[in-house]
Amino acid sequence: MVPIPSPRKDSNASPLGWLTRSSSNWLPPLLGTGGFLLLWQLFSMSGVIALPAPSSLFTEERTRTLIFYPFYDRGGLDKGLFWQTLASLSRVAQGYTLAALVGIAVGITIGLKPTINRAFDPLFQFLRMVAPLAWVPIALVLFQKNQPAAIFVIFITAIWPILINTAEGVRQIPQDYRNVALVLQMSSRRFFTKVLIPSALPYIFTGLRISIGLAWLAIIAAEIVMPGTLGIGFFIWDAYQQNYVGEIVLGVIWIGAIGLVLDRLMAALQNYISPGK
C-alpha cells in the first residue's frame, strides 16, 4: 500500500499540531495544578479548612486590588506588591553578591590548601547548620539597624553552598589538568584563568543555584521579624497581624513564583556559561 499524504500532515506543522504532539509535556502539570486548586476550592467552600478559596483572591476587594495594581504607592509601607518585591530583591541582590564574592574566594583558597581546609572545615560545617531565622537576632545585635542586618542574614545563609561547592570544584580538578599545568610550569595567573576557573565552574554554578533559593528563603524570614521594613516578608507578617488571610495566601503565591523565576534564571545562566554540565 502506498501511503497517501493525508491533510493531517499540514495540521502537524501548525501550532495546534505542535501542542497536540507535545501534550505529554504540558498536560500532566496542568492537570496536577488544576486538580490541586480544585480540591482547595472544594475544601474551602465546604468549610473543612479555614483558608479562603482560591477564587476569593479575585472576589475579595483587598486582594483583587493587590493583584491588579502591583505598582500603586500610597506612601509609607502601603505599596503595591511590585515595590514590596523589589525591596526584598534588592536586599537579596546585595547579600547574595557579597556571599558569592566571599564564597568563591574562600572556596578556592580552601580548595587549593588542604591545611586551611582542615583548619576551618569544622567551623564551616557548624555554621552551615544554623537556620537563617537564628541569625536574625545576632544580626540585629551586631548591626543595630534593620537593613544591614537583613543583608547579613542573606549573606550568611547563602555563602555556604557557594563556598563548599567551589572548594569541591577546585579539589576535583582532574590530576591530568594539574599535571599539564605542572609540566608546562604555568604561572599561577594562567593556571587560575585557564584551568582552575573553567574546571571548577560547573561546581561553582551548582553552589550559586542552591544559594539563590536559600537567599530568597532567608529574606522572608529576616523581614518577618524586622518590623517596619518595606518587603514581601513584612507584608505577610503585617497581613497576619491584621488577619487578612487572603493577603497572606497571595503573598505566599507571589514568593513561590519569584523563587521559581530566580531559580530558572540561574539555571539558564549556568546552561549558557557551561553547557552540558
Shortest spacing between CB 275 and other proteins, in angstroms = 11
Residue closest to 163 by CA, chosen among 115, 213, 117, 218: 117
Return the residue of 184, 253, 260, 268 that touches other proteins, per CB under 8 A: 184
120 near other proteins (CB under 8 A): no
Return the residue of 46, 144, 185, 243 that touches other proteins, per CB under 8 A: 185
Residues 198, 251: contact at Cβ < 8 Å?
Answer: no
The count of residues interacting with other proteins (CB under 8 A) is 16
Strand partners, 79: 73
Q: What string of DSSP letters covers 87-104? A: HHHHHHHHHHHHHHHHHH
Residues 219, 262: contact at Cβ < 8 Å?
Answer: no
Residues 195, 186: contact at Cβ < 8 Å?
Answer: yes
Stretch of 16-24, 132-140, 174-182, 225-233 lying at the interface with other proteins (CB under 8 A)? 174-182
Return the residue of 180, 245, 258, 269 that touches other proteins, per CB under 8 A: 180
269 near other proteins (CB under 8 A): no
183 near other proteins (CB under 8 A): yes
Residues 172, 207: contact at Cβ < 8 Å?
Answer: no
Measured from the CB atom, is 71 or 272 closer to other proteins? 272
Residue closest to 172 by CA, chosen among 199, 190, 195, 207: 199
176 near other proteins (CB under 8 A): yes
198 near other proteins (CB under 8 A): yes
187 near other proteins (CB under 8 A): yes
Shortest spacing between CB 72 and other proteins, in angstroms = 49
Residues 158, 210: contact at Cβ < 8 Å?
Answer: no
271 near other proteins (CB under 8 A): no
Residue closest to 171 by CA, chosen among 130, 113, 217, 235: 113
Residues 234, 228: contact at Cβ < 8 Å?
Answer: yes
Shortest spacing between CB 220 and other proteins, in angstroms = 38
Measured from the CB atom, is 106 or 196 closer to other proteins? 196
Which DSSP letter does residue 229 get? -
190 near other proteins (CB under 8 A): yes
Shortest spacing between CB 195 and other proteins, in angstroms = 7
Shortest spacing between CB 199 and other proteins, in angstroms = 8
Rounded Cα gap, residues 251 and 237, in angstroms? 10
The total of other beta-carbon atoms located within 10 Å of residue 10's CB is 10
| Site residues (vs other proteins, CB under 8 A) | 174, 176-177, 179-180, 182-187, 190, 194-195, 198-199
